[in-house]
Structure 1
Amino acid sequence: MTLAGTAAIRTSTAAPAVARVRRDPRLAIVAALYTAAQLILAAPGRSLAWDESIYFSQVDPRSPAAFFSAPRSRGVTLLGAPVAAFTSDPLVLRTFLAVLSGLALFGAFAVWHRIIGRGTSALAALLFAGLWVTVEYGSQMMPNLWVAFGAVAATGFFLRAVREGPRRGHLVGLAVAVGWPTLVRAPDGVWLALPLLAGVLVRAWRDWRIAAAIAAGLAAGMAEWIAEAYARFGGITERLADSDAIEGGLGFSWNVGNALRSADGPLLCRPCDVGYPAVSHIAWWPALPLLAVVGIVVAARAGRLAPALLPVLCAVSLSASYLFLIPYAAPRFLLPAYALLALPVAALLTAGARAVRTSPTPLRITAAVLAGALLAGHWYVQAQILHRQIGSARRNVGEYRALADALRRIGIRPPCLVAGDSQPIAYDAGCASSINSNLRSDASQASGPVVVRAAEHRAVAILVAPGGGAPSYAPGWQRRELTGSPLITGWSAYVPPKR
């Protein structure tokens, strides 16, 4: 086949999709606005945060790989690999991820066009993209948002497979949409697959090909995690045990209160000893599942139960471990649930708008105006929270950069190691941290002898926060005050005595 013929086939294949977007560009507009919000608000001026520096260091050839602990999954590192091949610039990485997450938002919710309609799927995407935490993490190299996109696509492909028949495209899409969340967050992939596999047991949906697609996606996503469990941790049981220890003990834990406390930040609530936020900041949080339940009732009465119920069941499954099995919280943990619950809520709002158009009674008009006002207020509050969180994050990364610069000024340059509470600081300085790929311990236990031995052949500094004491495992090391920015007042580093 000639190049011209190949190009013609590709053009003819892509043309219908482009035409559909042109006819109804609402979802594309939502995705574009989502990307623009990240590029304007969330991406500029931010170096890598703690977890991001761990993930990115795995693929960045210019930096030592940080210790990769048992609970983490390697799929997240793939998000940064295309950028790491060329540069370590955080702005380039954030720009790339902002564009990629916008495309993922479009692709995930586009799967639902033929199930709930183009307008409703665009509204669902807008409801999800309008949350501060969705904008905050769109340009970050973290797993939960990407689980959310996969979960939305997986439930959509499942419903299309049982409604339209198990066509090859539906089955491949379902397998990929289950496999990707599993690759970036292995436990979440399992929690997503469980309700989908249970759905195949429903008599009207019973089809071995659909079950096989789910199982294939789950197996493909888990393959790397299982291989690494044997290669680095001694087996699956040992890796799970390590994960349990790092997570603080997995078991029943009423974590709903902690999740509510962190609904508007902090980004990690561990220990979660903050107070409850203002009611105006968290009213949306209990309202979302309540509206989803109302959406199920309305959809059932209209004979459209499955498109409303399945996303809710998957949301419950994906949020269960974060609400009942761990003792701490972070706003990003529930992103997959928020994305899935946005689907029945959008369908409910669309049904309400349709009812007002067809029969505009005073009561319905009043309800529509009230709903519109509440939605506008909700987005205003989300913008306020986002502004506050971005400011806080920039102060944190500003501190990281200032500490890295201060370490360079006292002679800590590659090849080097920074010990203490140091991971993102070490990354910014181009050093290994005391949590590195050769150690199975965290910084609180960190192998003092290893740090001391490292000083024999490379520059080493033990970072100490304001008020901290001298490291007991390095007697005779010299204290150097770190200067250069008001952000690091009181910080110091201990370095070996000059020989």
Structure 2
Amino acid sequence: MTPRAAARPAEGAQGRPGVRFPWLALVAAGFAVAQLALAAPHLGLGWDETVYLSQVDPRNPAAYFSAPRSRGISFLVAPIIAVTGSTPTTRIVLALLSAAALYATYRVWRPLLGPGRTALAALLFAGLWVTVLYGPQAMPNLWVALSAVAATGWFLRARPGASWAVLLGLGATVAAATLFRFSDGVWLAAPLLAACAMVPAWRRPAPALAVAGGLAAGSAQWIAEAYMRWGGVGARLHASSATEGGMGLHWAGGDAWRSLNGPLLCRPCTVPLTHPALTLWWLVLPVLALTACAVALCTGRPAETVLPVACAAALSVPYLVLIDYSAPRFFLPVYALLALPVATLATGMVRAVRPVPARAAVAGVLAVLLVAHLTVQYEVLQETAAGARATADRYRAVADALRGLGLRPPCLVTGSHSQPIGYYAGCASADVSGNNQNITEAALLRRAVTEPTAALAERRSPPPDYAHAWKAHRLRGTGYTAYLP
């Protein structure tokens, strides 16, 4: 494969002369509308969001920031949070930003696949319930996904003679993915660097330096923080592994499948599979991706298909074989990348059919399947959004009850779900054990003498050891008991 073949536009990419219909812009606009109508108005802040927002929120103390996290999403929302603490406003701004980012990242692929295939790929990704749900949320996974799509597209366009803008785009998008989630940035860069080493078309210093430079720039903050807080990269990786339950060989494919339609975090993943018929698309997806690769190899133009599949496979590794739990959002980068070869396969099938009436029939069948798929996604979105809303409402109700007991900032919340509840109450949070341990019992008791403190326990759980002598207050309608000294 020559460099020219690796990056030349797909057949029909230039389109017919005249005015083109802005399909990709229409998909992005629809994505914004779907978020604003179906997700943004109904969502309070989830646990992880309160951690990310608290890092840059001038109105609330910063929650403990554990070793596996990266600060990219906090940097993204910092200008919003500096202006307003309104959750609905934050949701609206993030919905519009994510829709604009969807357009910009898939737009990178238009010279490679053409406008129709690019728009269909964006639609396949934007139509997933998990994409719509996390578009307006302050969570990193969607932004890693969009960065990965753009980075892979820029890499394919970094042919000999490409402008500096292409190489800068490649480096910047790898840096963005790494800044949003350090580990995902490393897994994204690995197949790109491997392609530079193994494929003659890309065996040049420019794309390799762009990828390596982006990885270095995106990881600089994470590495600096590793030395400042944990004593080095190795120590932070060790702490990250402990937080994740011990990174190692664990087959989590079954967990991912069971959690596909919720819960939003399956840890431990002992729930039964809900709505098995609605998970068929997930089982078919790798088959379609591999079929697209086979077709591309047979036609002699594999670059635009094989590379996104390779990057998707790399990004799935930590969530399929290295942890023992799952969450639907983990696979957003995989879905975003696999949407590209699936769209290419679908449009190729239609174009290969002769005569024209038969082609129209095949296109009609595929359109019906797409509508059915989007309907399934809508049904799951309704259910999972309701669950997320109920969880956030519970956090807010507990925070309101704590204020009713006299907790006012500066204050401290500890115990069960202390981080999100503390954020809602405007209090600092602390834990003496678990993944978010950031204080000793002795230090906690000293703080409890000088500032209002509440230890939380769920209704059927005993109070923390240090709070046995504290006064119990049942927080009616929440399932929590608060213990105050």
Q: Do 1:419 and 1:443's aligned partners in 2 also have CA atoms closer than 8 Å?
A: no
CA distance in 1, matches of 2:289, 2:344: 9
Q: Which amino acid aligns with 1:231?
A: M
Q: Which amino acid aligns with 1:493?
A: A
Matches within 5 A, 1:187-266: 187-201=183-197, 202-266=199-263
Instruction: State the secondary structure of the residue aligned to 2:158.
Output: helix
Q: Which amino acid aligns with 2:288?
A: L
Give CA deviations for 1:4-48 in whole Å, capped at 9, x if unaligned: xxxxxxxxxxxxxxxx99733110110011011111111113221
Instruction: State the secondary structure of the residue aligned to 1:253.
Output: coil
Matches within 5 A, 1:327-342: 327-342=324-339
CA distance in 1, matches of 2:208, 2:436: 43
Counterpart of 1:470? 463
Q: CA deviation at 1:243?
A: 0.4
Choose from 51, 63, 71 the match for 2:60. 63
CA distance in 1, matches of 2:437, 2:228: 25
Counterpart of 2:396? 401
CA distance in 1, matches of 2:66, 2:395: 22
Counterpart of 1:78? 75
Q: CA deviation at 1:303?
A: 2.8
Q: Is 1:359 the counterpart of 2:355 in the alignment?
A: yes
Q: Do 2:175 and 2:218's aligned partners in 1 also have CA atoms closer than 8 Å?
A: yes
Q: Which amino acid aligns with 1:133?
A: V
CA distance in 1, matches of 2:442, 2:394: 28
Q: Do 1:420 and 1:443's aligned partners in 2 also have CA atoms closer than 8 Å?
A: no
Counterpart of 1:9? none
Counterpart of 1:385? 380
Identity %: 51
Q: Do 1:21 and 1:28's aligned partners in 2 also have CA atoms closer than 8 Å?
A: no
Q: Which amino acid aligns with 2:483?
A: Y
Q: In structure 2, do the counterparts of structure 1 residues 441 and 254 end up closer, same or farther at CA, with 3 Å as the change threshold? A: closer
Give CA deviations for 1:393-427 in whole Å, capped at 9, x if unaligned: 11111111111100000001100001112211110
CA distance in 1, matches of 2:235, 2:171: 28
Choose from 416, 420, 435 the match for 2:415. 420
Counterpart of 2:99? 102
Q: In structure 2, do the counterparts of structure 1 residues 339 and 480 end up closer, same or farther at CA, with 3 Å as the change threshold? A: same
CA distance in 1, matches of 2:56, 2:76: 10
Q: Is 1:39 the counterpart of 2:36 in the alignment?
A: yes
Q: Which amino acid aligns with 1:378?
A: H
Which structure has the higher relative contact order (CA within 8 Å, separation 6+)? Answer: 2
Q: In structure 2, do the counterparts of structure 1 residues 469 and 444 end up closer, same or farther at CA, with 3 Å as the change threshold? A: farther
TM-score (norm 1): 0.90
Q: Do 1:50 and 1:424's aligned partners in 2 also have CA atoms closer than 8 Å?
A: yes
Q: CA deviation at 1:109?
A: 0.3
Q: Do 2:57 and 2:82's aligned partners in 1 also have CA atoms closer than 8 Å?
A: yes
Q: Which amino acid aligns with 1:196?
A: L
Q: CA deviation at 1:442?
A: 4.0
Q: Do 1:258 and 1:272's aligned partners in 2 also have CA atoms closer than 8 Å?
A: yes
Q: CA deviation at 1:375?
A: 1.8
Gaps of 5+ in 2: 1-16
Q: Is 1:494 the counterpart of 2:471 in the alignment?
A: no
Q: Do 2:350 and 2:362's aligned partners in 1 also have CA atoms closer than 8 Å?
A: no
Q: Is 1:171 the counterpart of 2:156 in the alignment?
A: no
Of the structure 1 ranges 300-309 and 329-338, higher mean CA displacement relative to structure 2 is found in 300-309
Q: In structure 2, do the counterparts of structure 1 residues 445 and 177 end up closer, same or farther at CA, with 3 Å as the change threshold? A: closer
Q: CA deviation at 1:383?
A: 0.3
Q: Which amino acid aligns with 1:380?
A: T
Q: CA deviation at 1:443?
A: 5.5
Gaps of 5+ in 1: 1-19
Choose from 423, 430, 433 the match for 1:434. 430
Instruction: State the secondary structure of the residue aligned to 2:467.
Output: coil
Counterpart of 2:441? 448
Q: In structure 2, do the counterparts of structure 1 residues 102 and 21 end up closer, same or farther at CA, with 3 Å as the change threshold? A: farther
Q: Do 2:456 and 2:463's aligned partners in 1 also have CA atoms closer than 8 Å?
A: no
Give CA deviations for 1:88-116 in whole Å, capped at 9, x if unaligned: 11111111110110011001100000001
Of the structure 1 ranges 470-479 and 366-375, higher mean CA displacement relative to structure 2 is found in 366-375
CA distance in 1, matches of 2:444, 2:393: 26
